[in-house]
Chains A and B, each alone.
Chain A
Amino acid sequence: MSAASNPPRWARRLLEWAAGSEDAAYLLSELDEAFVELAARRGSQTARRWYGTQAILSSVHFSGYRVTRAFSRLFGSGFGTYLGHDLRYALRQLRRSPTTSIAVVLTMTLGAGASAAVLGAVDGILLRPLPFPGADRLVWIHTGTEEQPRSSISSNPADFTDWRGAAALEAGVAWAPAEEVTIATNGEPWRGRVIRISDGVAGVLGLPPAAGRWFAAEDFLPQSNVVMLGYRTWRAAFAGDPAAVGRSILLDDRPVRIVGVVPETGDAFPPAEADVWRPEPTRGAGRGTLYLQVAGRLRHGATLDQAQQQIGAIQRRLAEEYPGTNANRRAWVQPYLEGLVGPVTPMLSLIGGTVVLVLLIACGNAANVLLARGQLRRREFAIRTAIGGSSRRLTAQVVTEVLALAVIGLALGLTAAPFLLHGLVALYPGGLPRGASLGFSPLVIATAGAATLLAALLSVVPVVRQARSRDPGPALESGERSGLSRRARRAGGLLVASQVALAVVLLFGGVQLLRSLYALSSRELGFDRNGLLAFSVVPTAVRYPENADAFAYLHRVAERMRAVPGVQAAGFGTLLPYDQGNLATMIWPEGVAHTPDNAHFPLSHGVSVGYLEALGLPVLEGRSLRAEDVRGRRVAAISAGLARRLWPGQRAIGRRIEGSNWSLEVVGVVGDKRHRSLRDEPPIELYTPREQSWFYSRAHWIVVRVAGSPETMGPALLAAAREVDPATPPARFGSIEERIAGSLAPERFRGLLVGALGGLALLLTLIGVWGTVAHWVSRQTRDIGVRIALGQSPGRARRQVVRTALTTVGAGLLCGLVMAAVAGRLLEGFLVGVSSADPASLTGIAVLFLLATWGAALGPARRASRVDPVRAIRSEAG
């Protein structure tokens, strides 16, 4: 018989599942019987349709039945009838014990708020789809090297043009790093950022511009002076008026015309954060310099692997055709979202993990509080059980009470969550990618709510077991002050020990991160960071058409600043420590073949006299740069690291360095300095007189060393610069000290966050310890009284209490220390200068916990030692 003349298989399977093992067999055989009859009468197609309908409708009935049955098993039949009663009773209980209720509500608020904030961040940053059509086809294309194929080095216009020939790519776009410019939109000039971007952005983003048009082919010609306005700048400077298109603004005193506005991309496209876009023709610098970031869109149906293979093949061809520059280059294609948010994933995971730990500890506290309260109500529960109340009803009531508290806490927590999230985004150093547009999707709220309620239900498990204890006898006959059941002690002790273990892990993480922060911030910089100020200045081509004019202006400013009282040294240069600037040049020591393998890429500075002195770099060999060096033969000072690299173990002075078509003589070796970050080793560096260097950028840094405090000297120095040329405003960027501190912002954020949460965890745990011990003492007043009456000294009683507390905490401490040592390995990526399982930190935390526990137990212990045995025993009888 064909399948068409049998009942549909999916329907049978559905019924098997829905009806359950008991009834399925009977039901199926009856339905089959009916199917055969119906098929004979009305044809098998009708019969199959009828069978399917039966299956679906019946499954609905069975499922509904199962759900209601589960509910009535849990809450007693007549669930609906009792819910109102339970709720009213629960609210009465809340009012009767406000402190414990508030404690539990606070816990739930903390839990709901923190988890909602973290979930919102994770959802908005990692999971939210990108706001571009077909966003899963967007990719980054990075240049890597043979040794590090997956590094993210930039590209150049020539390589980029070749890559775009790959068949798998539908579109590609490249952009240069942002540059500082002076922008004048409607009046006062201000410093903003401009990005030079290639054509192709429309094809990659797939979005229309917010106003006007994209750059057209003619805009990429040398004479064009058009720009696109960034979305935020458009809103701020023109109030989002479409009439801004066609208007002119000034960039570094030069007028340019607005042809369009970049669309809103929700922080998902880094160039869109700039204030202005300029068209960057994809020709210009040769293949030797690397400075472009590249993104692309794959064709429909093309895979990442195909793109990787094609672009890889192009790179290999380029390596053969241009061995001088491309021999060592590889390319790799990375999914766009991964590249965008990948860097913050470890941090978000750290935050998420930390929040979960704090939540668990807080839940432990809530459970402890509820247990203690439940102990007090043992009598009430016992009486109800004795007169025939069902344990199901008791459970329902206890659960309703906790759920009521949880719902209140949830409401409060979800109200607080947006502020917590906002705070997280604001404090996160460097800004979170996509952070400006985070919100709370219904899924996030639902998940946070479910997590909180689940945590609440977990905290209530020990209480439920307590309420449902089979034998009400002991509680009834001996009244309230009847001592502590072993079970209750064990439960309480286990809770405290777990809390201690988790708190130790958190505290250890915080301590390690803070120690790492300290180690980093005290690292040697290579230059004297105190008393240093930096000014950014751009002598525009409008006011200083020739480079020589610009340099003359800069020299005058430096000289004028040197004349200010308190200034020890001043000079200008193209790069500043702890700034974003970066320019590497390809060099060879004299006498070495000019192949890529032999090349070195030092960080290259064009500096004036006084720059090295202002930084305080020690001169180790030879001399610093002098004013005469500007004319005459080409010279340079190099860092000690570069000297070691080029001529290991030999004297560097007098030797020559060669570039692609130039050479110069080394006249001085200066100390190494850390340029970009405290984590990285000092780079190799090359300092040439500014007039002899070949950079086209007009942006310079004036560095000044002062005797007094940098803050007080700032205004005088700014005034000096304005004296030279009032129309060229130098922008002050604070002291170097601030910039270095700024570069440590991620470490500080991590350390403070985890450290603060660790401290909170410690506090919560200590409260839990104190509460539990105090509770135990009050439960055991009678027993203590008896022991004292029989001759035990009060001191002994006190010591016993303290010993119990220390033992419980000690057990948790041991577990916690082991867990911390293991968990420390997860932190390794963040740590500098401290080992992941540092014994000093672990010992310190252990001692701290034991001391704190001893302190927390003192109060209850003293109360125990002061128990009046006569009163204790007598109160029992009454």
Chain B
Amino acid sequence: MPKRALTEFELYVLLALAHLEPEAYGLAIMRQIEERAGRPVAIGAVYTALSRLEARGLVHFSFSDPRPVPGGRARKYAHLTRPGEQALRQATGMLRQMMAGLPAHLRPEPGEAR
């Protein structure tokens, strides 16, 4: 069975994860995507995407001790696995290949997502 390709959102989650490692958790990933991609994100979408990625072996989770602040709780952190890093490289590589040589008027300006 051919492996299913990453969806757009899953790609964003992996990219945000990569930026935030080793302290990537749900809320932080959500904020990363909102800041960088400029689109509002529901935290549930991040969580379900992470679950799907974990089922495919592309991420794994670790748990911190309860944080040393009043009412602090433990955190669930996500990390890229080796196959996850590979998948990310592959996806971004494909994207770069597809974008190479785009006509000038279609190339994105820096920060244009917002």
Main secondary structure on chain B at its contact with chain A?
A: helix
* B90 sits at the interface (CB 8 A): no
User: Contacting chain B: which of A19-27, A398-406, A858-866?
Assistant: A19-27
Among A53, A62, A77, max chain B CB count under 10 A is at A62
A18 close to B44 (CB less than 8 A): yes
A62 close to B48 (CB less than 8 A): yes
* A61 sits at the interface (CB 8 A): yes
Closest to B67 in A: A29
A30 close to B44 (CB less than 8 A): no
Tell me whether A58 and B45 are in contact in the complex, defined as CB-CB below 8 angstroms, given that A29-B73, A78-B1 are known contacts: yes
A23 close to B27 (CB less than 8 A): no
Kindly identify, within residues 42 to 86 of chain B, every residue whose CB is under 8 Å from any CB belonging to chain A: 42-45, 47-48, 51-52, 73-76
B73 close to A25 (CB less than 8 A): yes
* A31 sits at the interface (CB 8 A): yes
* B12 sits at the interface (CB 8 A): no
A53-91 near B? 1/0 per residue, CB < 8 Å: 110011111101100000000000110000000000000
Main secondary structure on chain A at its contact with chain B?
A: helix
A26 close to B26 (CB less than 8 A): yes
B73 close to A27 (CB less than 8 A): no
B87-100 near A? 1/0 per residue, CB < 8 Å: 00000000000000
A59 close to B44 (CB less than 8 A): yes
A54 close to B42 (CB less than 8 A): yes
B27 close to A31 (CB less than 8 A): yes
Tell me whether A58 and B47 are in contact in the complex, defined as CB-CB below 8 angstroms, given that A26-B75, A78-B1 are known contacts: yes
Task: Tally inter-chain residue pairs, CB-CB below 8 A.
Answer: 58
A27 close to B43 (CB less than 8 A): yes
B98 to chain A, nearest CB (A): 25
Tell me whether A19 and B44 are in contact in the complex, defined as CB-CB below 8 angstroms, given that A25-B73, A26-B76 are known contacts: yes
Kindly identify, within residues 8 to 67 of chain A, every residue whose CB is under 8 Å from any CB belonging to chain B: 15, 18-19, 23, 25-27, 29-31, 33-34, 53-54, 57-62, 64-65
Q: Which residues of A contact B1 (CB under 8 A)?
A: 77-78
Among B43, B45, B73, B76, max chain A CB count under 10 A is at B43
Kindly identify, within residues 344 to 400 of chain A, every residue whose CB is under 8 Å from any CB belonging to chain B: none
Tell me whether A61 and B45 are in contact in the complex, defined as CB-CB below 8 angstroms, given that A26-B74, A29-B73 are known contacts: yes
B43 close to A31 (CB less than 8 A): yes
Of the residues B25, B26, B27, B44, contact of A62 by C-beta under 8 Å: B44
How distant is the Cα of A65 from the Cα of B47 in the complex, in angstroms?
A: 10
Q: Which residues of A contact B51 (CB under 8 A)?
A: 23, 65
Q: Which residues of B contact A18 (CB under 8 A)?
A: 44
Q: Which residues of B contact A77 (CB under 8 A)?
A: 1
Q: Which residues of A contact B74 (CB under 8 A)?
A: 26
B48 close to A33 (CB less than 8 A): no
How distant is the Cα of A22 from the Cα of B42 in the complex, in angstroms?
A: 18
Q: Which residues of A contact B44 (CB under 8 A)?
A: 15, 18-19, 27, 54, 57-62
B26 close to A57 (CB less than 8 A): no
B63 to chain A, nearest CB (A): 9
Closest to A57 in B: B42
A62 close to B43 (CB less than 8 A): no
B27 close to A30 (CB less than 8 A): yes
Closest to A72 in B: B55
Of the residues A23, A33, A53, A64, contact of B47 by C-beta under 8 Å: A23
Q: Which residues of A contact B43 (CB under 8 A)?
A: 27, 30-31, 54, 58
How distant is the Cα of A27 from the Cα of B74 in the complex, in angstroms?
A: 11
Closest to A60 in B: B44
How distant is the Cα of A247 from the Cα of B75 in the complex, in angstroms?
A: 87
A19 close to B42 (CB less than 8 A): no
Kindly identify, within residues 1 to 56 of chain B, every residue whose CB is under 8 Å from any CB belonging to chain A: 1, 25-27, 42-45, 47-48, 51-52
How distant is the Cα of A25 from the Cα of B75 in the complex, in angstroms?
A: 9
How distant is the Cα of A59 from the Cα of B47 in the complex, in angstroms?
A: 11
Q: Which residues of A contact B26 (CB under 8 A)?
A: 26-27, 30
How distant is the Cα of A703 from the Cα of B76 in the complex, in angstroms?
A: 95
How distant is the Cα of A31 from the Cα of B25 in the complex, in angstroms?
A: 12
B47 close to A62 (CB less than 8 A): yes
Among B42, B52, B73, max chain A CB count under 10 A is at B42
A603 to chain B, nearest CB (A): 76
Closest to A56 in B: B42
How distant is the Cα of A60 from the Cα of B44 in the complex, in angstroms?
A: 8
A58 close to B42 (CB less than 8 A): yes
A61 close to B48 (CB less than 8 A): yes
Q: Which residues of A contact B47 (CB under 8 A)?
A: 19, 23, 27, 58, 61-62
Kindly identify, within residues 655 to 681 of chain A, every residue whose CB is under 8 Å from any CB belonging to chain B: none
B75 close to A57 (CB less than 8 A): no
A12 to chain B, nearest CB (A): 13
A586 to chain B, nearest CB (A): 78
Q: Which residues of B contact A78 (CB under 8 A)?
A: 1
Among A30, A31, A59, A77, max chain B CB count under 10 A is at A30
Kindly identify, within residues 828 to 877 of chain A, every residue whose CB is under 8 Å from any CB belonging to chain B: none
How distant is the Cα of A634 from the Cα of B43 in the complex, in angstroms?
A: 98
Of the residues B25, B48, B76, contact of A65 by C-beta under 8 Å: B48
How distant is the Cα of A273 from the Cα of B43 in the complex, in angstroms?
A: 63
Closest to A65 in B: B48
Q: Which residues of A contact B27 (CB under 8 A)?
A: 30-31, 33-34
A523 to chain B, nearest CB (A): 73
B73 to chain A, nearest CB (A): 4
B33 to chain A, nearest CB (A): 14
How distant is the Cα of A31 from the Cα of B75 in the complex, in angstroms?
A: 12
Q: Which residues of A contact B76 (CB under 8 A)?
A: 23, 26
B26 to chain A, nearest CB (A): 5
A1 to chain B, nearest CB (A): 12
Kindly identify, within residues 617 to 638 of chain A, every residue whose CB is under 8 Å from any CB belonging to chain B: none
B4 to chain A, nearest CB (A): 8
Closest to B55 in A: A69
How distant is the Cα of A19 from the Cα of B51 in the complex, in angstroms?
A: 11
Closest to A33 in B: B27
A708 to chain B, nearest CB (A): 87
How distant is the Cα of A34 from the Cα of B76 in the complex, in angstroms?
A: 16
A30 close to B45 (CB less than 8 A): no
How distant is the Cα of A33 from the Cα of B25 in the complex, in angstroms?
A: 13
How distant is the Cα of A708 from the Cα of B52 in the complex, in angstroms?
A: 90
Q: Which residues of B contact A19 (CB under 8 A)?
A: 44, 47
How distant is the Cα of A62 from the Cα of B46 in the complex, in angstroms?
A: 10
Kindly identify, within residues 259 to 304 of chain A, every residue whose CB is under 8 Å from any CB belonging to chain B: none
How distant is the Cα of A30 from the Cα of B26 in the complex, in angstroms?
A: 7
Q: Which residues of B contact A23 (CB under 8 A)?
A: 47, 51, 76
How distant is the Cα of A57 from the Cα of B42 in the complex, in angstroms?
A: 6
B106 to chain A, nearest CB (A): 31
Closest to A81 in B: B1
How distant is the Cα of A54 from the Cα of B1 in the complex, in angstroms?
A: 36
How distant is the Cα of A30 from the Cα of B47 in the complex, in angstroms?
A: 12
B28 to chain A, nearest CB (A): 8
How distant is the Cα of A447 from the Cα of B63 in the complex, in angstroms?
A: 47
A49 to chain B, nearest CB (A): 13
Closest to B45 in A: A61
Residues of B within 8 A of A (CB): 1, 25-27, 42-45, 47-48, 51-52, 73-76
14 A-B residue pairs with CB within 8 Å: A23-B47, A25-B73, A26-B75, A27-B26, A30-B26, A30-B75, A53-B42, A57-B45, A58-B44, A60-B42, A61-B48, A62-B44, A62-B48, A78-B1
Residues of A within 8 A of B (CB): 15, 18-19, 23, 25-27, 29-31, 33-34, 53-54, 57-62, 64-65, 77-78
Per CB-CB distance, the 6 closest pairs between chain A and chain B, nearest first, are A58-B44, A57-B42, A30-B27, A61-B44, A29-B73, A65-B48
Taking A25-B73, A60-B44 as known contacts, 20 extra A-B pairs with beta carbons closer than 8 A to each other, sorted by chain A number, are: A18-B44, A19-B44, A23-B51, A23-B76, A26-B26, A26-B74, A27-B44, A30-B25, A31-B27, A53-B42, A54-B42, A54-B43, A54-B44, A57-B42, A57-B44, A58-B42, A58-B43, A61-B48, A65-B51, A78-B1
